[in-house]
Amino acid sequence: MIKKIIINADDFGLNSSVNKAIVESFGNGLINSTTLMANMPGFDEAVELAYKHNIINKIGIHLTLTEGQPITTNMSKRDLFNDMHNSNIKRYKRNLFFLSKSEKEIIYNEFAAQILKLRNAGIKITHIDTHHHTHEIWTITQLIFSLLGTYKIPSMRILNNLNQSTSYYKGGYRKLINKIIKIKGVNNTDYLGNQLEAIWQLNHDPKFFESKRLEIMVHPDYNQSGIIIDRIKDQEVNFDHTEIFRRLIKLNG
Is the model more confident about 81 or about 243? Answer: 81
Classify the C-alpha dihedral 235-3-9-106 as positive or negative.
negative
Among candidate residues 221, 220, 162, 164, the one with its CA nearest the CA of residue 193: 162
Res 239: pLDDT:
82
Tell me the residue length of the chain.
253
3-state secondary structure the chain: CECEEEEEEEEECCCHHHHHHHHHHHHCCCCCEEEECCCCCCHHHHHHHHHHCCCHHHEEEEECCCCCCCCCHHHHHCCCCCCCCCCCHHHHHHHHHHCCHHHHHHHHHHHHHHHHHHHHCCCCCCCEEEHHHHHHCHHHHHHHHHHHHHCCCCCECCCCCCCCCCCHHHHHHHHHHHHHHHHCCCECCCEEECHHHHHHHHHHCCCCCECCEEEEEECEEECCCCCEEEEECCEEEEHHHHHHHHHHHHHCC
CATH value at residue 36: 3.20.20.370
| pLDDT score of 147 more than 90 | yes
Neighbouring-strand partners of residue 192: 215
- Distance, in Å, from the CA atom of 170 to the CA atom of 182, rounded to the nearest integer, reads 18
Residue 143 domain boundaries = 4-251
pLDDT of residue 252: 62
Q: How confident is the model at residue 83 (pLDDT cuts 50, 70, 90)?
A: confident
Confidence at residue 157, expressed as pLDDT on a 0 to 100 scale? 98
Residues 31-55: what's their mean pLDDT?
A: 97
Q: Tell me the C-alpha distance between 57 and 47, whole Å.
A: 11
How sure is the predictor about 85, in pLDDT bands with cuts at 50, 70 and 90? Answer: low
pLDDT digits over 181-212, tens only? 999 999 999 999 999 999 899 889 989 999 99
pLDDT value of position 234: 81
How many distinct structural domains can be found in the chain?
Answer: 1
241 has a pLDDT exceeding 80:
no
Instruction: Dump pLDDT digits (tens) for 152-176.
Output: 999 999 999 999 888 888 999 999 9
The C-alpha angle with vertex 59 and arms to 141 and 182, in degrees rounded to 5, equals 35
Residue 85 to residues 5, 39, 73, 136: CA-CA distances in angstroms?
35, 16, 20, 21
Q: pTM of the full predicted structure? A: 0.94
- Measuring CA to CA, which residue among 96, 166, 170 is closest to residue 138? 96
CA dist 3 → 35, 188, 195, 253 (Å): 22, 12, 17, 11
What gap in Å lies between CA 241 and CA 244, rounded to an integer? 7
In this prediction, residue 84 carries a pLDDT of 64
Confidence band of 248 (pLDDT split at 50, 70, 90):
low
